[in-house]
């Protein structure tokens, strides 16, 4: 049986650095696997302090220019830990943003 896609937002496959904080203290870091306006999935080395349901702050390093991998600006916001997928090569973490994230600095405007 085919898996039905329930996500309403398009996901983009990016491998960008991500930092997860709670009370201004880093609790996990890794590389994004996919990103949308409402959530992110990333791989990390066993973020033991993350638990489903936790609220965390997220910072994602976005390349500032095409082909300029050294210059990053950060985007982020508040998110809830939705899922942890433990595996042999670390842990996959699914986060759901409290508010839409604008990964390219291109706000839709309007309201």
The DSSP code sequence of 21-45 is: EETTEEEEEEEEEEE-SSEEEEEES
Q: What's the pLDDT score for residue 81?
A: 95
pLDDT, one tens digit per residue, over 27-74 is 899 999 999 999 999 998 756 788 999 999 999 998 876 555 567 788
Domains in the chain, ordered, with CATH?
17-97 (2.40.10)
* Six token digits for residue 43: 């791989």
């Amino acid at each position: 049986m085919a898996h039905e896609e329930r996500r309403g937002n398009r996901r983009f496959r990016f491998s960008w650095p991500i930092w997860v904080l709670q009370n201004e203290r880093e609790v996990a870091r890794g590389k994004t696997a996919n990103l949308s306006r409402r959530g992110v999935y990333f791989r990390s080395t066993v973020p033991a302090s993350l638990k489903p349901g936790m609220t965390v702050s997220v910072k994602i390093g976005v390349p500032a220019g095409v082909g300029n991998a050294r210059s990053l600006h950060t985007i982020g916001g508040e998110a809830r830990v939705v899922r942890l997928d433990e595996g042999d090569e670390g842990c996959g973490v699914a986060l759901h943003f409290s508010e839409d994230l604008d990964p390219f600095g291109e706000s839709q405007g309007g309201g």
